[in-house]
Amino acid sequence: MGVAQMEGRRIRIQGTVQGVGFRPWVYRMAHSAGVTGRVRNDSAGVTIEAFGEQDALARFVDALKNPPAAARILAFDQSAIAAEAAPDFEIVASERTCDHVVSIPPDLATCPECTAEIFDPANRRFRYPFTNCTNCGPRFTIATDIPYDRPATTMAPFEMCPACRREYEDAADRRFHAQPNACPVCGPRLAFHGPDGTRLTPDDPIAAAARAISHGLIVAVKGIGGFHLACDATSEFAVRRLRERKHRDEKPLAVMVRDLAEAETLAVLSDVERALLTSAERPIVLVERSAECSLPSGLAPHNRMLGLFLPYSPLHHLLLADAGRPLVMTSANLSDEPIAFMDDEAIHRLVRIADCFLMHDRRIETRCDDSVVTVIGGEGAVLRRSRGYVPRAIRTPRPIARPVLACGGLLKNTFCLAQGHDAWVGPHIGDLENLETYDSYVQSIARMQRFLALQPEVIAYDMHPDYLSSRYAKRQPQSTKIAVQHHHAHVVSAMTEHGIDEPAIGIAYDGTGFGTDGTLWGGEIMVATPASFRRVATFRPIALVGGDRAIREPWRIALALAVDAFDGNVPGDVLALFDVDDRDRTFVGKLLAGRFPAPLARGVGRYFDGFGALFLRRPRSAFEGQIALEWTQVADPRVSRSYRFTIDTTTACPEIDVRLAFQDAVVDLARGEPVASIAAAFHNTLTEATAAAVRRIVPSVGALPIVASGGCFQNARLAESLCAALAPEHRVWLQRQVPPGDGGISLGQAVIASALCA
């Protein structure tokens, strides 16, 4: 071999590359390729300087393109540098350079190796609830600053013992540079507190918590992104007690099961659902209850679906093993308040709900709820994007020239920060309707700005003047503020995650959003770009008598539909279907006839509410979307018939009109047609009407890409049937990474604002 020519290469990698075992992996790749040099974390991601012969460098660069599972590479560039005679390849200490942004990794579920260790009596981490390694453990929720290194996490106060330190420094060890590395000698410890918050000292706090649960008690458990309330999911009594104390009337409660085998006994699972349940993100997965499922129906009243998830921290694994049964694990809060995450605050707020507390001394820096996912059309769709996903960036097709803060909506709020090709959607905040949630929103925005070292120059917000997020936006000092129409934001959110930057046909169906014509929108079909939209179809508006009250009492919407469908002369047998006080019905009927000003709403979600309330004879809704969900679940999948509809082209924007469908449904009911068949025909009608409205405009606008978003597309039946109805000529892109509901609009707002001020 002659004197080989040494070359040098500088490789910069951006994305989720810190805290996911990336540098140790680069180190191993360098060794096996035979290159020398160094790798370090910096505020922009990871920088590698590699030296070696041309072939070795090429092998190394190739290997870097298949990173470890938890890492995400968003940008990769390399340049030639002068060769250096570096003796070895090394990992050098982090360097803080403030000129770029970095992505702190999301929290990762406990890996199989760590799980095996905590159940191995011979291992020094046997039953140690804070076990982690470079492949797993908390990240985002314990980070206090960037770059992501132990001193900038809430692990800083815990000094590693010699054994942990050896692992941390040994490049061949699974814990090499695992920032939260800990063991029973040096790491965080558990504590058990009684009902009034007094600290008790049982020998084994996890066993004590499991015992309490087996006696039907409610235990507040401090987890990764906040506290859970845990109780025996198999006990009707415990579940009812939890509901009463939490003031959570009928919302479904999530259930944690020990492993996939236990999940299979409760639900019918597909391969995609199994993969989601066991993914490193460990979301709650909405799955269909199996016929053999023996859990009390009180977990999710009137609901065929069940929210299941698997343990994602060693503490969960141990608790589930000791309890020996599935556990309700629901966010620890009073209904509508944000999840508790600090010790004193948790005791203070939960003292009337929890019977005891299982806590620990590792601080949670950032509150982060469990994420929720479901399968639509054979693929996962994130319905609530939080722990496990946040703060992973979503790549925008067009660069965001000036940094943007998008403030999101009202319900299921998230915010979004964007710069360059990255959009970071923040953790789930919840419904911005009380002071606690608002405070958490403001703090969360400030913290994410700090983590990303991002100073927004542009503020985007929803056009609705009364949303707390819009008011927050208006108070910000930045001079560039852009109000974004709600459904335009839904559509551009879907376009963005699929990399669509050219005009698209957007279908945005939800409950309510502020429209520009004095009505509430939510049944909108538009031709949109990030900078503009033009509505091409909408739904005929319905009167909401009592405004928001009509949403809680959807029988009011049903009556409005009936009055509209029968031109004011609602037949007596239809009126007899209303399961409400006659005086109430007469009063609302008078308001409808008298043309008193009531808000007019076009939301498809309102049609679900109205039809569902009447035909299911369920006049009231315990929470947003409850009746709509039941109306969908009752629909018979084998029924393919539909009802009549028209598209009225005489209105300013063509209107899908389902008054005839309402009449048809009433006739069906009178004929004794089962409700399951009526619900199915209703769904099929919406799908056909939507497909017809889309086909109607294709000749004039061309075969543009089609996206569908809005809360109605959390509904797998509607989404799947729409995809089928437009296939094979058209493909409909659904939201996958970002919620179709209002948790997804901040992404659209950010991209729209950026396009408008470019």
Smallest distance, Fe ion to C-beta of residue 67, A: 35
| The 72-81 sheet, strands edge to edge | 72-81, 6-16, 45-53, 36-42, 89-91
The C-alpha atoms of residue 102 and residue 36 are separated, in whole angstroms, by 25
Piece of the chain touching Fe ion by CB under 5 A; list 398-406, 532-540, 616-624, 740-748:
740-748
In order of 27, 250, 541, 685, the CA distances from 170 in angstroms are 12, 52, 66, 63
Which single residue is written with the structure tokens 């209303």? 578
Q: How far is the CB of 174 from Zn ion (least distance, A)?
A: 7
Interaction between residue 655 and Fe ion (CB under 5 A): no
Does residue 742 belong to the site contacting Fe ion (CB under 5 A)? yes
Residues in contact with 659: Cβ distance below 8 Å, sequence separation at least 6, in sequence order? 540, 561, 564, 565
Burial 541-558 (b: 16+ CB within 10 A, else e): bbbbbbeeebbebbbbbb
User: Which distant-in-sequence residues (6+ apart) come within 8 Å of 275 by Cβ?
Assistant: none
- Stretch near Zn ion under the rule CB under 5 A, chosen from 55-63, 110-118, 254-262, 656-664: 110-118
- Residue 192 neighbours by CB under 8 Å, 6+ apart: 199, 200, 201, 202, 205, 208, 209, 356, 357, 358, 359
What is the C-alpha to C-alpha distance for residues 749 and 408, in angstroms, rounded to an integer? 7
Site for Zn ion in 143-202 (CB under 5 A): 161, 164, 183, 185-186
| Location of structure tokens 């047609």 | 673
Interface with Zn ion by CB under 5 A: which range of 64-72, 113-121, 215-223, 296-304? 113-121
We find the least distance from the C-beta atom of residue 159 to Zn ion, in angstroms, to be 9
Nearer to Fe ion, 509 or 643 (CB): 509
Q: Residue 422's binding partner, choosing from Fe ion, Zn ion, none, with beta-carbon cut-off 5 to 8 A by kind?
A: none
Q: Are 407 and 461 in contact (CB under 8 A)?
A: yes
Write the binding mask 187 to 226 for Fe ion: x where contact by CB under 5 A, - elsewhere: ----------------------------------------
Tell me whether residue 111 or residue 221 sits nearer to Zn ion (CB atom).
111
Partner whose footprint covers residue 111, from Zn ion, Fe ion, none (CB < 5 to 8 Å by kind): Zn ion
- Is 109 near Zn ion (CB under 5 A)? no
Cβ-based nearer residue to Zn ion, 312 or 555: 312
Does 405 interact with Zn ion (rule: CB under 5 A)? no
In the shown chain, the binding pattern of residues 116 to 135 toward Zn ion, with x for contact by CB under 5 A and - for none, equals: -----------------x-x
Q: At what angle do helices 626-634 and 675-701 cross, to 10 degrees?
A: 100
CB 287 within 8 A of CB 268: yes
Q: Does 624 bind Fe ion (CB under 5 A)?
A: no
Instruction: Specify the pairing of strand 394-406 against strand 458-462.
Output: parallel
Stretch that binds Fe ion, among 11-19, 159-167, 392-400, 504-512 (CB under 5 A): 504-512
The single residue among 44, 70, 111, 405 that binds Zn ion, judged by CB under 5 A, is: 111
Q: What are phi and psi of 216, to 5 degrees?
A: 85, 10
Q: Is 379 exposed, middle or buried (0-12, 13-18, 19+ CB in 10 A)?
A: exposed
Tokens encoding 724: 């089928």
Strand locations in 589-688 (E): 600-601, 646-648, 655-657
Our CB check for Zn ion shows the closer of 182 and 601 to be 182
Q: Which does 161 bind (CB under 5 to 8 A by kind): Fe ion, Zn ion, none?
A: Zn ion
Is 464 or 730 the residue whose CB approaches Fe ion more closely? 464
Give the one entry of Zn ion, Fe ion, none that residue 114 binds, where binding means its C-beta sits below a cut-off of 5 to 8 angstroms depending on kind: Zn ion
Bridge partners, residue 482, by sequence:
460
* CB 101 within 8 Å of CB 422: yes
What angle do helix axes 205-214 and 314-323 make, rounded to 10 degrees? 50
When CB distances are held under 5 to 8 angstroms depending on the partner's kind, the choice from Zn ion, Fe ion, none that residue 70 binds is: none
Which region among 92-100, 218-226, 507-515, 689-697 touches Fe ion (by CB under 5 A)?
Answer: 507-515
Which of Zn ion, Fe ion, none does residue 13 bind (CB under 5 to 8 Å by kind)? none
Burial letters 601-621, b for 16+ CB under 10 A, else e: bbbbbbbbbbbbbbbbebbeb
- Could you tell me the smallest distance in angstroms from the CB atom of residue 744 to Fe ion? 8
Interface map 288-307 toward Zn ion (x if CB under 5 A): --------------------
Distance of closest approach, residue 742 Cβ to Fe ion, in angstroms: 4
Q: How far is the CB of 370 from Zn ion (least distance, A)?
A: 20
Q: How many residues bind Zn ion (CB under 5 A)?
A: 10
In degrees, to the nearest 5, what angle opens at C-alpha 188 toward C-alphas 184 and 191? Answer: 100
| Piece in contact with Fe ion (CB under 5 A), picked from 320-328, 353-361, 511-519, 730-738 | 511-519
* 431 contributes a contact to Fe ion by CB under 5 A: no
Q: How many residues lie near Fe ion (CB under 5 A)?
A: 3
Q: Interaction with Fe ion in 153-172: which residues (CB under 5 A)?
A: none
* Residue 350 binding partner per list Fe ion, Zn ion, none, with a CB distance cut-off of 5 to 8 Å that depends on partner kind: none
Which does residue 431 touch among Fe ion, Zn ion, none (CB within 5 to 8 A, set by kind)? none
Residues 332, 339: Cα–Cα separation, whole Å: 5
Work out what residue 371 binds among Fe ion, Zn ion, none; the CB cut-off runs from 5 to 8 Å by kind.
none
Alpha carbons within 13 angstroms on the beta-carbon side of residue 35 total 34
Residue number with CB closer to Zn ion (11 or 182): 182
Q: What is the H or E stretch that residue 131 is in? A: none
Query: Which is nearer to Zn ion, 115 or 714 (by Cβ)?
Result: 115
**CB of 320: closest distance to Zn ion in angstroms?**
18
Q: State the DSSP string of 163-193.
A: HHHHHHH-TTSTTTT-TT---TTTS--EEEE
Closest contact distance (angstroms) between CB of 307 and Fe ion is: 22
Task: Give how far the C-alpha of residue 184 lies from the chain's centroid of Cα atoms, to the nearest Å.
Answer: 34
Give bridge partners of residue 16 from the DSSP assignment: 72
The pair of three-digit structure tokens given for residue 401, joined into one six-digit string: 């020239």
Radius of gyration over alpha carbons of the chain, in Å? 27
* Alpha-carbon distance values, 326 to 47, 192, 257, 641 (Å): 45, 21, 5, 41
Window contacting Fe ion (CB under 5 A); options: 78-86, 375-383, 502-510, 682-690: 502-510
Nearest approach in angstroms of CB 221 to Zn ion is 20
Structure tokens at 675: 């409700």
Euclidean distance between CA atoms 110 and 178, whole angstroms: 13
User: Is there binding between residue 275 and Zn ion (CB under 5 A)?
Assistant: no
Among Zn ion, Fe ion, none, residue 342 binds (CB under 5-8 Å by kind): none
Quick check: bond before 301 cis, omega within 30? no
In the list Fe ion, Zn ion, none, the entry touching 655 (Cβ below 5 to 8 angstroms by class) is: none
Work out what residue 185 binds among Zn ion, Fe ion, none; the CB cut-off runs from 5 to 8 Å by kind: Zn ion
Cβ distance 486 to 462 under 8 Å? yes
In the complex with Zn ion, the residue whose CB is nearer, 4 or 163, is 163
Cis peptide before 391 (omega within 30 of 0): yes
- Binding partner at 742 among Fe ion, Zn ion, none, C-beta below 5 to 8 Å by kind: Fe ion
Element (H, E) at 431: none
Interacting positions 523-542 with Fe ion (CB under 5 A): none
Pick the binder of Fe ion from 510, 624, 664, 668 (CB under 5 A): 510
Identify the residue among 61, 91, 114, 675 touching Zn ion (CB under 5 A): 114
E strand spans, 85-196 = 89-91, 190-193
Minimum separation from the CB atom of position 358 to Zn ion (A) = 22
- Minimum distance, C-beta of residue 314 to Zn ion, in the bound complex (Å): 9
Please tell me whether residue 136 binds Zn ion under the rule CB under 5 A.
yes
Stretch touching Fe ion by CB under 5 A, among 333-341, 421-429, 431-439, 736-744: 736-744
Residue nearest to Fe ion (CB): 510
Interface residues with Zn ion (CB under 5 A)?
Answer: 111, 114, 133, 135-136, 161, 164, 183, 185-186
Interface residues with Fe ion (CB under 5 A)?
Answer: 510, 513, 742
